[in-house]
Structure 1
């Protein structure tokens, strides 16, 4: 990041601090951690003075039947032993009464401070107190004072970079002038030797007839019109240099020296050439020593600077696992495949973990997280850690203030630009809530629905309030009804029956009926199809519906309303992912069983799909 910022400034020193901040995002600490105040970074970028808040990392983990909090990263300059002692002292004075035991299990692999919590401890309050009372959250002062022309001066980050570039110019010029003088001196010697070789017989005669070295030098100077330095070089010359090969090499050396002097002169006289040299040397340093950022910078403190100015609004795919791990990957990592392929691994799964679902969004979108507690939280997509195909992501308990038994059951990544939020639960309940109820979410989330036993939110869409929707069940029943008659309810209501379910059935998904779109259906065994919306007749809510697909020992995994030019990502329980074009999926009747969309391994099954639209996500 530092090298990139220097290269950014190299030819245009008028760039602003905001411009630089897009490239050099802030400090990076060897002990990792999370930097939480972007305004502190902004302050010292502009003034040279400020303070950044850095937090260590911890996660909740069940060890046996005991809920523990594992600290695995601590802030820079914080001593681990001092941190543990501070926690023990707080236990003694009753400020961290939730703690039952603490032990240090750190090793060469890294830091691991295990805190066992009491049975009735409020984990959310405990974590907040831990950061507030201990050095797990600390500030790091920044004071950019440097000696400029022998005098101390407080510098902005831009001035630091600018001073360094000016210094590089000075160093490269001095070095070039030094090398230029050496090359000229050596060329002078070589030209003297060349003159001596051209009059070799006269040179040998002078040397033989001279009484001593001084007389030989004086006579050579007169003969060849050279100085003492050159004549000394001739007198010191080995006889082996007289062979034809050495004479040719001498001419080549002179040519090389002249070319080298020409290049050095160009660096000294032409500024653009000088900047090219500085650029290439900086790139070499980057190649040799550049490494990836260790400290994560959260974009929570956004009052001082706009997020849009700092990050690219790339399209991304969000992976969520059954055990509550989440990660963000660029869509460009996954290429389009033919229908019926085996797919590629999309993420690494922990032991006994499996994929829960996938979702499309972009870095600057706010994501809504719905949990089995009936609560909703929000988080900027960019704050979800980015991971490659061989990573499993981050525990959601670190990113959201979830209770220990609370898990995310549904994610909404679309636009919030209509009148209502429409929710459908596993047990077939549907609820319409005015969007104003969730526009200003608290950090700790809000209760959005009162759930029955073993029920949770499975699918959410934003609606105007008068659309037709098509809902599907696990056993392949589809119902279409208009939502205009469903009245909006308060946050504590349970909703009303959306679709009638048999004992062994459950709601799977729904989508909005739209002109120009068909219904894409995929089953657990990887078969899918498209059907026309008019295959499902419009009825009242609360009915069982009609069969929309023929099933043979499998069940419906997902449905989406799709257009011809869109793409679908299909994810399996084992983390295999395939990206296909909608137009490659055939249109069939509702009685057909579909065609092979993804070729599954034994015991694997389709868990979810995500639709990538060309115009909007």
Structure 2
């Protein structure tokens, strides 16, 4: 007696998982999620159609409960959940998913809004007429049959598919490591392409695309991007844009509405309407009054009613870009080809279909030939029996039984077993002369049919004639015009800012310390002007009324340019601090926003004059400072600084060429004046040219001035001086200049800052800022205009107020 060894194998987890998952993956790739390239069906779809056909549930019979069909499929062919079978069955009936539905269903079979179908006990179904073409001749051994899961019945591995279903109805599915997305196409176009490839086996893709222009979605719409279609048809992968069919219709009251009659394939209509209505409610764009779904039995209709005098085209473009009114459709044409998943192009699909159809017709012809030959053999036996009828009857009467009669006929008259069987079972009425004539007629017809079948099997051209005739018959029986329009180029969606941004006037404030905010006019008017939310030592450097559609260019003392559309500036109450610029853009510790300019649009002309403290100056065109894509998170460079201690001291915007001259003043009290034409126009990152011969000095500021203007200077010792610009002679660039202060041997005056006072300005209020953040007011008329060598008069007590660092014309309070 032998002891049975335990059936235990020691395997590593990696080997077990790899092996088991590999088998599982192979199963779901081949037997669940991907369509066969020949009939375009997944196994569950094929089993549904086959089971319904076997059950006689065809288009010419009455509808039957869906539950009965699902039960038949599950019990005989598909041992999986009834819900998965029913969902597949429902999808085959949905005319917004399939270009040519294969199942007709009575009752609720879902909707474009994503509503589920009614339970299968409520709905009724049957095969559609075109589904009959998928199953035609399946009883003639046209396809391979295999045993079902319990070996009780046979099921087909593929359907005869008398039309190119994979392209016509498309496919979608996800399996292990593979997914497929094949769009629907027009039946007539695809058949034309099949016929062309049959006649021209070496046809190029471009030739086939003369017939198959592109997908033809059951929901219509407009396809843009013929290059994406070509790529997909060539490689199996490609991308196109699918947009809704819309029109802008004027309505009474100087209003208009956008009417949507077709939406992109597989877009949920209810979700689309909801998204558009959310845009209206959240006021992401102005101008939408109402969004309505007016779809009914006559067809799809979504209406977007607009307010009076709005940019309808701009709103439509915004909706295209931000909702599923326009989508990107990605081709991923994967199908089971020779029992393995492959990316397939248009020619491969059509070629595989042709190969399948030739095989189907060959098998059908062989079946018909065998059947005709068998019948011919019987008919020949009957005719022979008729010619010796008396002897045949005598032989039969002389026999003991049926078996003996058959044996005697075979022995005496050389009939075959089959012929003898037909003779002994023949009914007496067939012994008439009429029946002999019919048999001879049938024999002639059989001979003709056999000859034809043999010709088809022997000559590929004859087989193709049959295929051509049958495809044209299907094309004629199921005519369908194209639903989807194809446009060669993808239209670029340009959304005007006016559409997205509510146009309103606001107050914009930028502070010395870098806080920035916009405030509604209402909040500003209702608040104390000084209650601006800033710290005591901070103060506004820019305070103005701007429109939300305007643009701000902010220049820092270290050569960086920050761009912000006004509508992107954080909205805050006037008494709130606002947002610090460092929250979005990183600046150096000693870097400050110093100059701010606003523009109605970014198409302005003119130039910027830029000067640095270490003696460089340049002009740069406005267009060189237009923002790039990364403006929200990165500042751009508007000048290249020569050293770590270099700083920008002047940024002036010159919309036109000014009439005056360029004036520069240094800390040590030297002034230089020359014509602006000596300053070249260079790029944004250029350093410029030498502005002044500085030696060990630094430039305080550069301005454009006329002869009669005044320079109002403040020194570090608190002395204030006014002098005429014309006292500085006009020379040329890069010189030392002339003294505008008298040099003292001990504790000399140094220019801290200066401002320009126009010749026509009187009683100008000036404000001096000290290093202790104290402000000292000066009235220009209280001080005389001094000579060039004067040091002015003391106005600021530096011991109590601090050292002056800046001077400005007192800002006029903002009124809104």
TM-score band by shorter chain is 0.3 to 0.5
Name the structure with the higher strand share.
Answer: 1
| Structure ranking higher on relative contact order (CA contacts 8 Å, 6+ apart) | 1
Larger Rg: 2
